[in-house]
Amino acid sequence: MLIDVLWHKNVMSREGKENIKKIPEVMLNRIEKVLILAILEGCDAIVLGAYGCGVFGNNPHSVAGYFNTLLNGKTGYRKYYRKVLFSVFDRTPGQNNFRAFQSIK
């Protein structure tokens, strides 16, 4: 078994109000790069993180939506993977971060 590891800098929503409008575009771009790179490397399974939904303050439903758009939307990157998993550390009382990503198929 071979394992590729790729780390990508998270987008921080707390960097300033002037940057908030840029977050969706930047986030979609970064996620897409990761998905494409893994495909080009021949990965058929991928474990993805929550892209800053904890300490960086990104909205888990927004971030899960970006992943869902790229995996299951028009681009359909999901078809390239046998398995897609999300590793989400969540200390929130209602498990909000975890539940947001749990719905992505």
* Contact (Cβ atoms closer than 8 angstroms) between residue 78 and residue 45: no
- The whole-number pLDDT of residue 75 equals 93
**Per the domain annotation, does 10 fall within a domain?**
no
Say if residues 57 and 19 touch (Cβ distance below 8 Å).
Answer: no
- In this predicted structure, what is the pLDDT of residue 100? 95
Per-residue pLDDT of the chain (105 residues; tens, 9 = 90+): 667 777 766 666 555 666 778 889 989 999 999 999 999 999 999 999 988 888 788 899 999 999 999 999 999 999 999 999 999 988 888 999 999 999 898
Residue 54 lies in a domain: yes
Residue 23 has phi, psi (to 5 degrees) of -55, -50
Task: Flag whether 64 is in a domain.
Answer: yes
- Here the tokens at position 23 are 């977050």
**Those residues with Cβ within 8 angstroms of residue 103's Cβ, 6 or more apart along the chain or in another chain:** 64, 68
Domain that holds residue 74: 23-102
pTM: 0.87
- What is the predicted pLDDT for the residue at 17? 64
The number of distinct structural domains making up the chain is: 1
Question: For the chain, what's the residue count?
Answer: 105
Question: How many C-beta atoms lie closer than 10 Å to residue 100's C-beta?
Answer: 23
